[in-house]
Amino acid sequence: MALSGRPDGPPLVAPGAPASYAARRLAAFAAAAAARRGAFDLAAHGLDTGVLGERAAIAGLTRQGPRSCGGAFRTMPTTDGWLGLSLPRPDDIEMVPALIEAVVDADPWQAVADWAADHPTGDAVARAHLLGLAAAAWPPAPSRRPGVVLTEGATRQPRERPLVVDLTSLWAGPLCAHLLGLAGCRVVKVESTGRLDGARFGPAGFYDLLHAAHESVTLDFADPSDVHRLRELIGRADLVLEASRPRALQSLGILAEDHVAAGTTWVSITARGRASDTIGFGDDVALAAGLAVPDGTGLLPVGDALADPLAGLAAAAAAAEALLPRTARLVDVSMLHVAEEAAARPAHEATVIRRDGEWWVETASGLHPVEPPRARRPSGTAAQPGADNPRWWR
């Protein structure tokens, strides 16, 4: 709640029940981890619904509606609704003139807002997607598929300490990898020498939290010999975790379906499922799923990139369950549809009140303070890029 609303206004209650959804996914993960290696105690690892706000806690972020907590996402009115747009990368900002078909001399956000005000939501979102930008429409148009879709593959041989090859970046995938590591998996993080995980350049504490105790290798994906090394590493894995559009790895000759058919479980996290080529980040995908709050004069994001940790938890539960049987699986995790499931859960009746200079929320269970986000302490320092290359390729 502390991360939802305007900076000078009250915290807002999220639609649906994202915290309850997160708790259920954590419980499912713990049950699967315990089934594989004995008891797994969430509390012993400090794991609870607080994981949804850990990035904000470490980075010192707070609510900034109608901007996201991190500032790279904003909502703006259109002729028939709202456009939500993420511009987190310099390349995204450079695409604004193409988006609005005009020269941008000043604030690019204001230029987009002026343009959006003259266009229908559907047209604005379609043009943004055409240019490879992460955008969402409000009101949302819920689709009909589960957040996690499973496809069975070939027989696999379970190992006591499964090898997880982590090809992901930012938050959702690394959160999944982090949880699998806590459950006894050996995790090897793979990064491109030309494009390291962008989270490395954010708060070090957050990167350390998700990657401490993981091995790190770097490869040049433009070098055929390094692509061969990547294929060999994937071939040795019990589970591969990736969060790119399928065509990205296909361009390297790597097809998830082929590896699942050979007995490797593959967990794919994408914005809208493997059938979609559109990109998305945690804030815009959350809005597309219905996780936003209209406040009369604006449309305000809920939480900090909320679709990211929700998808990470859903992926972790599905991955832990996929390590149990002797059959490999292709696990298709859609951030949008996971967030839709969280938004669709019945919301608890709650009223926000101000008392003694503090914000409180009143529910059927009583009066509770609105607490700031909190984070666990990292167990160590994450490995430097490529620190474990010599271990894998002597």
Is 86 in a helix, a strand, or coil? strand
Residue 230: both structure tokens together: 């990547």
Question: What's the confidence (pLDDT) of residue 1?
Answer: 82
Instruction: Specify the 3-state DSSP secondary structure of 287.
Output: helix
**Per-residue pLDDT, 372:** 95
Q: Strand pairing partners for 138? A: 82
- DSSP-derived letter for residue 65 is T
H/E element holding 362? strand 358-363
Is there a domain that residue 31 lies in?
A: yes
Domain of residue 198: give its range.
Answer: 18-52+144-277+304-345+374-392
Taking a C-beta distance cutoff of 8 angstroms, is the pair 271, 287 a contact? no
In a domain, 89, yes or no: no
Is 213 a member of any domain? yes
Q: CA-CA distances (angstroms) from residue 275 to 10, 120, 245, 269, 332?
A: 39, 25, 9, 12, 10
In the three-class reduction of DSSP (H, G, I as helix; E, B as strand; rest coil), residue 2 is classed as coil
Residue 38 confidence (pLDDT): 86
Number of compact structural domains in the chain: 1
- CA gap 89, 201 in Å, rounded: 12
Q: Which of 203, 320, 323 is nearest to 263 (CA)?
A: 323
**Rounded Cα distance, 361 and 370, in Å:** 6
Residue 249 domain flag:
yes
Q: Within a domain: residue 166?
A: yes
Residue 365's pLDDT is 84
Q: Cis omega before residue 224 (within 30°)? A: no
Let me know if residue 82 belongs to a domain.
no
pTM above the 0.75 mark?
yes
Residue 110 lies inside a defined structural domain of this protein: no
Joined tokens for residue 110: 């204001």
Is 100 part of a structural domain of the chain? no
State the 10-residue block means of pLDDT for the chain, 394 residues long.
93 93 98 93 97 98 97 98 97 97 95 98 98 97 90 92 97 99 98 95 97 98 96 97 89 94 97 95 98 93 98 99 96 98 85 90 88 96 98 88
pLDDT score of 157 = 87
Helix (H, G, I), strand (E, B) or coil at 57: helix
Closest CA to 214 of 27, 66, 374, 391: 391
The CATH number that applies at residue 216 is 3.40.50.10540
| DSSP symbols for 238-257 | SEEEE-S-HHHHHTTT--HH
Contact in structure between 176 and 356 (CB atoms under 8 Å): no
